[in-house]
Structure 1
Amino acid sequence: MATLDEAARIAMRDVLGLRPGEEVLIVTNFEPDVFSIARALVDNTKALGGRPTLLVQETKEPHMPTERIINEAVKAEPHVLILLPALSSGNDPFGLHTGYVGRDGRLYRGIMDKLIEGDRRIRSFWSNRVSVDTFRRCVAIDYGPIRADAARLKRVLDRGRMVRVTSPAGTDVEFSIKGRKAFLEDGDFSLPGTGGNLPAGEVYVSPAVASAGGTMVFDGTISLENNDVFPSTPVRVELKDGYVSTITGGLGAAGLRKTIESGESEAAERGMQEERRNARHIGEFGIGLNPNAMLIGNMIEDEKALGTAHFAIGNNFDNDASALIHQDCLMLSPSIWVDGRPIMKDGVLVRF
């Protein structure tokens, strides 16, 4: 296995494509794992000729605001922004209540999203709750095969209209992707306007609004309000008119219901009716591609595991179904068809 220093060098050199003289802003907490990774990234930024700045804030939960000075530093538009929170980086109060308009004319709920997606001025990666073990194992990899598979899947999804997903646990769901474009987290964040998780290894798409129907059964990791869990009993989610209607299946189901209801309540308290409704919307469908990723009970790694797929309940990535939550939920060994064409069978990619 690679050392932490080697993984940090690969992240800065091969993933971000750091150039001499570029400014790199790293935001983290003092928790041992993320702070150790941040220090390794600082050292390797300097070794590659970059100019790092390290900011440390107290650990935030998703409902807590990011420190004002952090948002002001992001507004300075460093070439590279890296977020390494032990739990969450917090939220952007101005973005939530007012929003930022990007150069593309769209409204964004956070300054980082505006600068990456809307203005295409900076590049970034974010690694919530990542451990040193995950970073060493899943970042120091050969990105060639992942990028090839991701590009191939994106071409199919970009041309596609309807997706069907089944799984041995009982999933059988269909949704439209007509007019949507898939997103890549293939470990190439070297150009302004690009960014994603590290570890990387995922292709994902936002289902068309209110188009999903059927049954989703999650027999892998699910993300709850403040933690990720592997449910002892699979969680069964029924959809009606594109939204979650019922959730059954033991403690995991109870936790997911509570998380969704919390997202609804927070949106209602803020008078955000669209966000309240979309706390039950299907915001994402993703396919894992990282061969080194395993199911460890941490979604930053688990959703990248080869042979898995996941749906997210809540906010989507096309900015037409905004929500205050985004809860990834994993299914094992899925089979996937796009317009009747198989792209995965029982968790194995179909070569095409």
Structure 2
Amino acid sequence: MNRILMGKGARTIVEICAGVKPGEQVVIVTEPRQMKIAEVIGSAVDAVGAEPTIAVITPRESDSQEPPATVAAAMKESDVFISAVYTSITHTKAVKNAVANGSRGVMLTQFDEQMLIKSGVNTDFPKVAPICYAVAEALENANEIILTTPHGTNLTMSATGRKSNAMTCMVKPGQFAPVPTVEANVSPLEGTANGTIVANASIPYIGIGVVDEPVTAIVKDGMITSITGGKEARILSDNLASKNDPNVYNIAEIGVGLNPECKFIGSMLEDEGVYGSVHIGIGSSLTLGGNVVAACHYDLIMTDVTLVVDGQTIIKDGEVLVGQTAIETV
């Protein structure tokens, strides 16, 4: 029965998000534990008259590790690639090279069967897109970004000269997007972030998920210098230290979640999309417009945010203030 119910979500991903057309070549990258997801997606690809190829890879040892060279080559030559893996390959050269070659990608990291049945996948993506573009426009080339929350976050950064990303979950050639996390983001200039991050909502990686106790990170000149809190903070701190890579502490991204159907469940692509939330990405920034390659990319998610960009208040106490008129006129 689940397979039947999963079909609707799979069709949304294939037809709306990826915009797959008859005759296109679609590469579905997966790993053994995600095969059910990949097979349902493959059926939806076949149903529109395109040709699916499922590439089953050995699970990566850590997020952001490159897929095999043969799979990376297939992604690059595809019309569409869909990543249905548990360990993320989103922030990799394989993805960057594929989109640079004109492919379009959809990332379904850590999807489970229920996320194809009841999750942010059920949102009206075309209706939400205008607000995503509006927030992305505000973040692009921003000289000063100020992020605060009543939980203790107080972070400033600059994105001067940086392009933003409007991830509407609907991709065009040369684009990729995680689904269902509708988000607008930008990679700040390296070395410009300073202040305090308090992740009070979720760190959907390495077994943490929705946090029981906020995790506090101190940031100086673009790098995290200390992490404090309870159990979750220790897990994050120990994991980052184990990478033996100083770039994992890089402030790589500020992203705004904009999917009204997403809820905090401890899954990366669902949690990051929660409407009005903000996440600070750390580690790799290569696929987001930055220059840093790191051993991982994790996101620290917070709520009740106020976001001010070059003097304009984009979000006030968790309420998104830009793009509303555009949505109303859709």
Shared fold per TM-score greater than 0.5? yes
Count of aligned residue pairs for this structure pair: 317
Aligned twin of 2:27: 25
The partner residue of 1:243 within 213, 223, 231 is 223
Cα distance 1:307–1:255, how it changes in 2: closer, same or farther (>3 A)? same
The partner residue of 1:214 within 161, 170, 195 is 195
Q: Does 1:341 align with 2:312?
A: yes
Following superposition, the deviation at residue 291 of structure 1 comes to 0.8
Aligned twin of 1:279: 248
Q: Does 1:202 align with 2:183?
A: yes
Aligned twin of 1:192: 173
Rounded Cα–Cα distance in structure 2 between residues aligned with 1:111 and 1:90: 9
Residue type at the aligned position of 1:39: E
Aligned twin of 1:4: 6
Deviations 1:122-157 (A, max 9, x none): 111111111122233222321123201011112211
The answer to whether the Cα contact below 8 Å between 1:283 and 1:313 also exists between their aligned partners in 2 is: yes
Deviations 1:266-296 (A, max 9, x none): xxxxxxxxxx332211001000001111101
Deviates more, 1:17-26 or 1:158-167: 158-167
Listed as ranges, the gaps of 5+ residues in structure 2 are: 324-330
| 2:249 aligned counterpart, secondary structure | coil
Residue type at the aligned position of 1:165: L
Q: Does 1:78 align with 2:78?
A: yes
The answer to whether the Cα contact below 8 Å between 2:7 and 2:40 also exists between their aligned partners in 1 is: yes
The partner residue of 2:94 within 108, 111, 118 is 111
Q: How high is the sequence identity, in percent, across the aligned residues?
A: 28
Rounded Cα–Cα distance in structure 2 between residues aligned with 1:50 and 1:204: 31
Aligned twin of 1:332: 303
Within-5 A mapping of 1:228-267: 228-263=208-243, 265=244
The answer to whether the Cα contact below 8 Å between 1:187 and 1:198 also exists between their aligned partners in 2 is: yes
Rounded Cα–Cα distance in structure 1 between residues aligned with 2:44 and 2:246: 44
The answer to whether the Cα contact below 8 Å between 2:22 and 2:48 also exists between their aligned partners in 1 is: yes
Tell me the C-alpha RMSD between the 2 structures: 2.2
Following superposition, the deviation at residue 218 of structure 1 comes to 0.7
Rounded Cα–Cα distance in structure 2 between residues aligned with 1:160 and 1:71: 33
The partner residue of 1:149 within 120, 127, 131 is 131
The partner residue of 1:227 within 189, 201, 207 is 207
Rounded Cα–Cα distance in structure 1 between residues aligned with 2:191 and 2:212: 30
Cα distance 1:186–1:295, how it changes in 2: closer, same or farther (>3 A)? same
Listed as ranges, the gaps of 5+ residues in structure 1 are: 92-108, 266-275
Rounded Cα–Cα distance in structure 1 between residues aligned with 2:322 and 2:276: 14
Rounded Cα–Cα distance in structure 2 between residues aligned with 1:45 and 1:330: 33
Rounded Cα–Cα distance in structure 1 between residues aligned with 2:242 and 2:15: 40
The answer to whether the Cα contact below 8 Å between 1:62 and 1:90 also exists between their aligned partners in 2 is: no
The answer to whether the Cα contact below 8 Å between 1:65 and 1:90 also exists between their aligned partners in 2 is: no
Moved >3 Å (runs of 4+): 63-69, 88-91
Question: TM-score by structure 2 length?
Answer: 0.89
Following superposition, the deviation at residue 49 of structure 1 comes to 0.9
Following superposition, the deviation at residue 160 of structure 1 comes to 2.4
Q: Bigger relative contact order, structure 1 or 2, given CA contacts below 8 A and separation 6+? A: 2
Aligned twin of 1:272: none
Rounded Cα–Cα distance in structure 1 between residues aligned with 2:31 and 2:59: 6
Residue type at the aligned position of 2:94: I
| 2:298 aligned counterpart, secondary structure | strand
Residue type at the aligned position of 2:213: T
The answer to whether the Cα contact below 8 Å between 1:16 and 1:124 also exists between their aligned partners in 2 is: yes
Residue type at the aligned position of 2:174: G
